[in-house]
């Protein structure tokens, strides 16, 4: 019995040394191997006729937060500038829901899409997780023409609405949704 316990302990030690050796050979710092990942997730919304937005979700050393920036359009004689900015803390449950419903989905492989200027609303997602980077772009995630882009972007908007209780941001998200689903469009005479 004592010999088998010793053998099991030696196997575990050998396994741990092997893992640390592999990570150090690959240039990884062994002190970060067992730490929780730091993560940055960015969403860029470029609607044609309203303000653009950059939403940044960060997970850093157990602190989860979101920064929502709405920017005026860049035009020839004027650079883009910040129209509205807010920061919010995220609970672990809010972050995990956003992670499972949106962030993890942007890791899908995607064929190249044209990224030029167009009507509609181009959307770009960028995920930085340690040394790994993933990017996903939708030319215009319309419900009729791009169901996967629509579903990911709609899930992101719905999650942000649950997290953010700011009227300006929620009104902006409502306008954004109308770019993706014509049934959500409101016209001045209907308001």
- pLDDT tens, 71-115? 887 666 666 677 899 999 999 898 888 888 788 877 766 666 555
pLDDT of residue 24 exceeding 60, the answer is: no
- Picking from 67, 69, 70, the residue whose alpha carbon sits closest to that of residue 56 is 67
Confidence (pTM): 0.70
Note whether 164 and 65 are within 8 A (CB): no
pLDDT number for residue 25: 44
> Residue 167 — pLDDT band, cuts 50, 70, 90?
very high
Task: Write out the E strands in the chain.
Answer: 39-45, 52-60, 63-71, 82-90, 123-129, 132-138
pLDDT (0 to 100) of residue 14: 43
CA distances from 7 to 2, 11, 13, 20 (A): 9, 6, 10, 20
More confident residue, 161 or 190: 161
Q: How far is CA 119 from CA 50, 142, 190, in A?
A: 11, 11, 23
Mean pLDDT on 53-81: 83
Q: Give the domain range for residue 21.
A: 2-32
Beta bridge partners of 60: 63
| Spatial distance between the Cα atoms of 84 and 68, rounded to a whole number of angstroms | 8
Predicted confidence band at 62 (pLDDT cuts at 50, 70, 90)? Answer: confident
Contact status, residue 57 vs residue 41, Cβ threshold 8 Å: yes
Residues 63 and 140 in one domain: yes
**Which residues, listed in sequence order, are joined to residue 132 by a DSSP beta bridge?**
129
Say yes or no to pLDDT of 13 above 70.
Answer: no
Is residue 10 domain-shared with residue 91, that is, in the same domain?
A: no
Same domain, 96 and 125: yes
Average pLDDT, rounded, for the chain: 75
Q: What share of the chain is helix, strand, coil (3-state, %, to 5)?
A: 40, 25, 30
- CATH of residue 63: 3.30.1560
pLDDT at 3 over 60: no
Shared-domain flag, residues 184 and 132: yes
Looking at the structure, do residues 11 and 92 belong to the same domain, yes or no?
Answer: no
Q: Are 98 and 159 in contact (CB under 8 A)?
A: yes
Mean pLDDT of 146-171: 88
Looking at the fold, whether 19 and 74 belong to one and the same domain comes out as no
Q: In this predicted structure, what is the pLDDT of residue 55? A: 94
pLDDT of residue 42 exceeding 90, the answer is yes
């Amino acid at each position: 019995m004592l010999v088998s316990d010793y053998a099991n302990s030696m196997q575990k030690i050998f396994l741990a040394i092997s893992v640390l050796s592999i990570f150090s050979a690959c240039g990884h710092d062994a002190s970060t191997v067992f730490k929780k990942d730091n993560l940055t997730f960015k969403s860029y919304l470029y609607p044609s006729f309203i303000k653009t937005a950059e939403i940044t979700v960060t997970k850093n050393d157990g602190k989860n937060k979101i920064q929502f920036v709405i920017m005026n359009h860049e035009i020839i004689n004027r650079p883009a500038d910040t129209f509205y900015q807010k920061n919010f803390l995220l609970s672990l449950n809010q972050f995990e829901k956003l992670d499972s419903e949106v962030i993890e989905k942007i890791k899908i492989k995607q064929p190249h899409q044209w990224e030029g200027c167009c009507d509609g609303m181009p959307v770009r997602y960028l995920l930085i997780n340690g040394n790994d980077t993933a990017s996903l772009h939708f030319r215009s995630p319309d419900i009729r023409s791009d169901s996967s882009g629509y579903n990911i972007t709609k899930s992101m908007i719905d999650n942000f609405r649950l997290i953010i209780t700011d009227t300006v941001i929620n009104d902006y998200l409502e306008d954004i949704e109308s770019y993706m689903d014509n049934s959500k469009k409101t016209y001045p005479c209907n308001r």
